[in-house]
Structure 1
Amino acid sequence: MRLWLAALLAALLLAVPALADELRPFSIEFSEREAGKWTIDWKQPLTSPDASQMAVPALPANCEYLADPVVRSAPMALIGHAEVACSDDVSGGTIGLPQLFGNSDALALVTPLGRPVQTLRLTAEKPLATISARPDRWAVAKDYFAIGTEHILMGWDHLLFVIALVLLVQGGWAVVKAATAFTIAHSLTLAAVTLGYAGLPQRPVEALIALSIMFLAVELARNHPESWTRRWPWIVAFGFGLLHGFGFAGALREIGLPEGEVPMALLTFNLGVEAGQLLVIAAVLALRAAVQRLVPKGEPPALKAATYGIGIIAAYWVVERVIA
């Protein structure tokens, strides 16, 4: 049991820092600078399969690259840039990355002159997306719900905060109230930032988010049943939720929002985050219940290993984000 826990902790320490708050691996920005003259920029992570080969996006049929793409290196990624000429309106054409496979996905941001910005989600099953004359409301809802769900499941800092919160509160209505308070708080901040009523620099926010995870890990390690955090977890969850909302806003700002459908995109992104949180909460509660039932003596060392693992990872992020 102890060897298994040690191996799990080692795997987390190696894998998690590289994945902290990454919304998705690939991204494309296709922008019209002048009538018929476009630029395309895209990012490919070095952690993707066959990262040595730079993937080149597929363009609408009436567009062509004017020269070979320019490729440069960035931290943990390759960045591509190219000039593109299009003979006519790109509406109805397709853009994407045929090289996507497995669980890979991408976001394509299409910015035509004088028309709304579109955000298109690409997956391995559907690596090409059709550019519309105007964003479709229900397509926006579907895509941003999926983006929100993925962000809580792939954004390890928010994920570890939720896990630590569930372990601290343990179960029952207290978990429901704390999770609801966290959701309401980050939704308020996300909406305020997106609509231009608030804002904070992203780097300090990311460091403070890591500190919030460290705080919960310390509370777990103290195991003081009468601590203020254990007695009023929903207040702590609400306060830190406001902070995490700035992190969600930074991720959403990177991918952009479709003009004319901002409320729908914002609402469904939040709903997706909430759905992801509920999945995490259910999984943690189920796992803990299984350990309590099947290996009751294994729960204390497992909880201790999880607590120290979460704390060490959070401490790593604090240092990384402060000195970067």
Structure 2
Amino acid sequence: MTAIRYLRLALLVLAALMQPALLRAHEASMGVLEFHEVRHGVYIGRWTMEPSIGAARVDLRVPSHCLLRLPEVNCGERGLVGPITIANLGANMAVVLIKLVPLAGEPRSYTISTANPVASILGTGAPTLQTWIELAKTYVNYGIDHILLGADHLLFVLGLIWIVGGGWRLVKTITAFTIGHSASLAAAAFGLIGVPERPLNACIALSIAFVGVEIVKQQRGEIGLTARHPWAVAFTFGLVHGIGFASALAGLGLERRLLPAALLFFNIGVEIGQLAFVLLVLALIWAHRRLDAVLPRWGEALPAYAIGSVSMFWFFGRLVRVLAPI
């Protein structure tokens, strides 16, 4: 039970650090900027998903041979090739996806983030070593940003840690979750399965509520499904969360030939972010043990009900979107 007390403290600290962003889940701090080539070397830019900072305040920098007069970018004969950056990345705008739609050929996508503030726009020829390096930088960073900005996924993982505890049982449970979301992410990205995004997001919220109920059962001395079969539960809900990860890649105009590599790098980024979060929670547990801190008895049930309340808040908000006319 000592480990459970450690996790209670970890949840309270993390909840304090994640507010108010926790209630927004994947919303805000991201943007998608498309550049459509209207004639050779001339592009028109438009926001298909505007960042929370506001499009008018985005400090966009284009290659030196390009002339920027928004919404037009004129790059002449060389085309839009070279470094693009956004100078004022920060808490209100952490990630911007740059989508380039040429007159001929497939669209290409690049990520600008606080971790990777410069995107090198590549040519349309055959992939080179630089192409693969840029692809790896782009999608590993995008995967890290996506999981660390995805409070719902992190809250689910935290619930699993709470129920399972530490040791090899936790390693196996997190591994099962990874296998589940990796499999469904690949299947969804290649078009083998498809689930409407709004109902899917509601189901993700319900998966967190399920874990919250399982924690309450454990506090009452009952053995819930997750406590009995943590790997099966983690794998099953991992399938649901993986399709949610795939929705992050939808509509980015990825080249079919580069999709397997982009998918691999994105998944690596997700796993790096997830591992960093797990290590953070374990570090808080270690710190709690060293301090020998004990929560008051009245606060023991608060974290479990916090998980349930936040997840149901998300669920009803997402359910309204499902039922609302498009």
Q: For residue 39 of structure 1, what is the aligned residue in structure 2?
A: 44
Alignment of 1:236-251 (within 5 A): 236-251=233-248
- Identity among equivalent pairs (%): 38
Deviation at 1:263, TM superposition (A): 1.2
- CA 1:271–1:130: 2 relative to 1, 3 Å: closer
- Supply the AA of the counterpart residue of 1:231: R
- Quick check: 156-165 or 82-91, which moved more? 82-91
Which residue of the other structure, out of 303, 306, 310, is the alignment partner of 1:309? Answer: 306
In the alignment, what sits opposite 2:57? Answer: 54
Aligned AA (1:251): A
Structure-1 separation of matches of 2:297 and 2:265 = 38
Find 1:166's aligned residue among 161, 170, 173: 161
Q: Which residue of 2 aligns with 1:133?
A: 123
Distance between the aligned counterparts of 2:316 and 2:66, measured in 1? 46
1:211 aligns with 2:206: yes
Q: Are 2:40 and 2:77, in contact at CA under 8 Å, matched by a contact in 1?
A: no
Counterpart of 2:178 in structure 1 is 183
User: What is the aligned length?
Assistant: 306
Report the equivalent of 1:25. 30
CA–CA separation in structure 2 for the residues paired with 1:184 and 1:171: 19
2:102 to 112, 124, 127: 112
| Match in the other structure for 1:77 | none
Matched with 1:280 is: 277
Between 1:52-61 and 1:186-195, the stretch displaced more is 52-61
Q: Deviations over 1:30-62 (max 9, x none)?
A: 12244444321134433x3xx595325334455
Distance 1:292 1:302 in 2: 18
Distance 2:231 2:100 in 1: 40
| Offset at residue 93 of structure 1 (A) | 3.6
Aligned to 1:200: 195
2:20 pairs with 1:14? yes
Gap change, CA 1:314 and 1:5, over 3 Å in 2: closer
Deviation at 1:63, TM superposition (A): 4.5
Per the alignment, do residues 127 and 176 of structure 1 end up closer, same or farther by CA in structure 2, a change over 3 Å counting?
closer
Q: Distance in 2 between matches of 1:119 and 1:38?
A: 15
Specify whether residues 36 and 218 from structure 1 end up closer, same or farther in structure 2 by C-alpha distance, changes over 3 A only.
same
Distance (whole Å) between structure 1 residues aligned to residue 279 and residue 104 of structure 2? 46
The answer to whether the 8 Å contact 1:60/1:90 transfers is no
Query: What's the TM-score, normalizing by structure 1?
Result: 0.82
Equivalent position of 2:294 in the other structure? 297
Residue in 2 that maps onto 1:78: none
Deviation at 1:178, TM superposition (A): 1.0
Give the match's secondary structure for 2:314: helix
| Alignment CA distance shift 1:221-1:27 (3 Å) | same
**Structural mapping, 1:38-117, within 5 Å:** 38-42=43-47, 43-46=49-52, 48=53, 51=54, 53-55=56-58, 57-64=60-67, 82-101=71-90, 104-117=94-107
Provide the rounded CA distance (Å) in 2 between the counterparts of 1:142 and 1:319: 37
* AA partner of residue 20 (structure 2): L
CA distance in 1, matches of 2:14, 2:123: 49
SS of equivalent to 1:200: coil
* SS at structure 2 position matched to 1:298: coil
* 1:252 aligned residue: 249
- TM-score for the superposition, normalised by structure 2: 0.81
- CA change 1:6–1:93 in 2 (3 A) is closer
Distance apart, 1:314 and its partner CA: 0.5
Amino acid paired to 2:58: A
Q: Distance in 2 between matches of 1:180 and 1:128?
A: 33
Q: Distance in 2 between matches of 1:237 and 1:126?
A: 31
Letter in 2 for 1:318: F
Give the root-mean-square deviation of aligned CA atoms: 3.2
CA distance in 1, matches of 2:16, 2:192: 42
Cα pair distance change 1:246/1:24, threshold 3 Å: farther
Distance 1:23 1:144, change over 3 A: farther
> 1:198-232 deviations in whole A, cap 9, x for unaligned?
11000000000000000001110111453222011
160-169 or 220-229: bigger deviation:
220-229
